[in-house]
Structure 1
């Protein structure tokens, strides 16, 4: 068996045992119209599949297609695409098609390009701004200054789009280096992993705590390993001790 064959076998073993179960979880969430949570569940396996197939000889079309699906899902997550049944159905169809393309390339070295082109055309056609989605971005945070710490309360129930993240970033920039910061997630129902990435980027210059996370936020926090940079507290009082 050549090195390329070994890589392919290892990849498909990972797909079957690890990535596809994660994708099925994400698809189930989309089907239940839990859009943000479903896209979060899909983001890691799809990103990995895109990267690995991009380096595997003969599987490059799967990488290119996965990239386009990722772009569609990111726009959907940011509120640029409607969260309605036709768009949800297209998202699920496109994700399932990634695995169909991979299997076709494995079995025959080719894939159904006409079907793929049709999906890509529909993905591109949905990429228009939809009114009313993500409208919670106006005041996503509230800053409370205490003598020994700054408390940042997330005011948006769902925090995903770039405008919201920009406001969080601007708020963090106003805080003096070395001051302790606590993020209160008590109001938020779900947030993007990119929010935790943003917060973690300030952990070198601040001691940062997190409190009030629900199950969805906690799952995102730990599955991406942000506990290495940020500390979780039971309450504001336990942080301020």
Structure 2
């Protein structure tokens, strides 16, 4: 869990919501807030005597756009190990790509509900935690290999896979869904939401039988390979699941009808 989080947002309401959710997650986290990006940049780069673990910044701010702020932050060597997440109420793909290329670890759309903020921050904190776990002294490396974590995954390699890729945490919140997976639910944004909320919001897709079939495997953190009929497309699919240290990765691909086996 991070020790220090800096929040930069010209909207005081959004800033307060993020701070409140962080305190609910862990009251020991020090939250430093700024409503003016120029002031934040000055304090972070010239006055702080320590490097924050995470910086959460709005993108569309007056006087200094988030993209400019991100560039200046990433030019600061002391922030090399700081996770930077850029947030906005609306997100265009070209801008998201630009921010990622400029060094953003996350480019995320601001949630609407408090629960969604909790899931979003949990996802960011997972990356921070796994990054810290990977900072092992050189003489200790190779002695014991820890299980791969969410932060170790190269998500860009999974985005355009032909198979549907889903990653959930062990509270059944969606951390990631690739392009193929999102198309299967007609473009619905499931990332940051709990599976039970997705059932309610997508009643046309009957997820519950699949969940009941998989939950013991996930909850007990064991691998799986199951052939089943998809509740989304009604086609035969193969579900391969792999437990990681802090999340569970699903790979779902279509298979010929005659190869479907009962479970």
TM-score w.r.t. the length of structure 1 is 0.28
Greater share of strand:
2
Higher helix share: 1
